[in-house]
Structure formats: C-alpha cells, structure tokens
C-alpha cells in the first residue's frame, strides 16, 4: 500500500469509536462487550509514539434514547482504556454526543460542536488534524471542521458506507473519495472543501498512509 505523496504526520487524530476502534455492538452498554478491532492497538501505538495526539469523538444517541446511561458509556470507555493500556496508548480527551438525530444539537457529528470545544481547549489547528471513522458523517465532520484529511475505514459500517459512495465493500488498497460521491449518496457537501478524503481497509492502513 502506498503512502500519501507527501505524508505529513498530523498534530492530532480524531477517531470515531464503534466500528473504528472497537467492534460495533448495537447500542453498546456492557463493558464485557468492548473488543478492539484487529490491529488497532498497534496502529494507535505507532501514532502515539510519533507524537500524534489521539481524540475520541463519538455519537452515543443510545443515552438520549434511554437505552443506556452515561454511567454505562463511561464504564465501557474505562474498559477501552484498559485494553489500550498495554500498548502505551491513551486518549488525550474523549468527547461524546448523547443526543438523538432529531434533537437539533450542535455536538452530534457531522456537526462540529465537539471539535469546537476541543479546538479551543487544546489549541488545535484544523489544517494539522485528521479524522477516521466508518460512516459518511465522520467524513462530513472533518470537512465541516476544515481538517486536512479524513479516512473512511471499511471496518464496522465502513463496507456499507463504501458501497453508498460507489466503492467496493472490500479492497486492500486505498481509494479516493470525491465530494461528488458524497453528494450523490445524499450527503450535502459545502463548496471549496480542503479535506482530502480516502477509503482504507482499517486503522493500520491509516498509519501507513500518514507515513508511520
């Protein structure tokens, strides 16, 4: 797999959780169900060792829907932290949106509320940030925030998302995603985007694409 023509190690990597870092279990509320996806620990270790700050940004509408509590979410997050600890990996910060799609909040991805809070608190430059997720909403989050790059992984819902965007559900290679493919799939894209969009197999491929 080739790297970017001029790979630049980002200042910060923003990560979706379910389907990107851990196995997607519908409305996860039991810490015993938290399981890292293959290769995630090693990939995040490579990034952390290169000085990349890792931020988790996740939509958790199950809280707002009453399927589980914020305490349940935090218990699952503590389990994830435990699983990453042997790799020497920890998140600089975790942000989550507890609201449902119809609540009109600013924090639910693809809205940028979680980013705006972290940008101010952590002095982050969007031109030096990357995003990884398994849904088009993760790409749009990065576009709306003005990130340098966003990667759609084919784990979790990623294979289904790739098909929506006119790509193969499985592919060992990287593929460019165009704004037009997002528009065609029903996801409005603002004009003049600066974010490079790619589809990759998994987080290991993200590390390789950024030169790590």
pLDDT grade, residue 183 (50/70/90)? very high
Residue 177: burial class (beta carbons within 10 Å; 0-12, 13-18, 19+):
buried
pLDDT above 50 (res 93): yes
Asked if residue 174 has pLDDT above 70, the reply is yes
Residue 3 has pLDDT above 50, yes or no: no
Nearest to 132 by CA among 105, 104, 161: 161
- Gyration radius of the chain's alpha carbons: 16
Q: Which domains does the chain have, with CATH numbers?
A: 12-204 (3.40.50.1000)
DSSP secondary structure code for residue 18 in this structure = B
Please give the angle made by the CA atoms of 162, 163 and 169, to the nearest 5 degrees.
70
Active site residue 16: yes
Condensed to tens digits (0 to 9), the pLDDT of residues 37-70 reads 999 999 999 999 999 999 999 999 999 999 999 9
Q: Degrees (nearest 5) of the Cα angle 24, 96, 109?
A: 80
Distance, in Å, from the CA atom of 131 to the CA atom of 16, rounded to the nearest integer, reads 8
Indicate if the pLDDT at residue 4 is higher than 50: no
Residues whose CB is less than 8 angstroms from the CB of residue 60 and which lie 6 or more positions away in sequence, other chains included: 73, 96, 97, 98
Per the prediction, the chain carries an average pLDDT of: 95
End-to-end Cα spacing for the chain: 12
CA 38 from centroid of its chain's CA atoms: 16
Tell me which H or E stretch contains 149.
strand 149-153
Of 18, 72, 138, 202, the active-site residue reads 18
Annotated active-site residue in 16, 134, 138, 202:
16
Give the Cα-Cα-Cα angle 164, 165, 168 (nearest 5 degrees).
85
pLDDT for res 39: 98
Residue 202 known to be catalytic: no
Predicted confidence (pLDDT) per residue in 133-158, tens digit? 999 999 999 999 999 999 999 999 99
């Amino acid at each position: 797999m080739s790297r970017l023509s001029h790979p630049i190690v980002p200042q910060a990597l923003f990560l979706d959780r379910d389907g990107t870092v851990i196995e997607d279990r519908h409305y996860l509320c039991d810490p015993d169900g938290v399981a890292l996806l293959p290769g995630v620990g090693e990939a995040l270790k490579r990034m952390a060792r290169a000085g990349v700050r890792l931020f988790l940004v996740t939509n958790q509408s199950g809280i707002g829907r009453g399927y589980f509590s914020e305490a349940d979410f935090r218990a699952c997050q503590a389990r994830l932290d435990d699983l990453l600890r042997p790799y020497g990996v920890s998140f600089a910060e975790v942000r989550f949106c507890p609201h449902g799609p119809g609540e009109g909040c600013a924090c639910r991805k693809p809205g940028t509320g979680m980013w705006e809070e972290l940008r101010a608190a952590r002095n982050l430059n969007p031109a030096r940030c990357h995003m990884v997720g398994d849904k088009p909403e993760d790409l749009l989050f990065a576009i709306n925030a003005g990130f340098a790059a966003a990667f759609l992984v084919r784990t979790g819902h990623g294979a289904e998302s790739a098909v929506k965007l006119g790509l193969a559900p499985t592919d060992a290679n990287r593929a460019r995603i165009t704004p037009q493919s997002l528009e065609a799939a029903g996801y409005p894209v603002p004009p003049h985007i600066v974010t490079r969009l790619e589809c990759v197999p998994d987080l290991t491929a993200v590390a390789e694409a950024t030169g790590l």
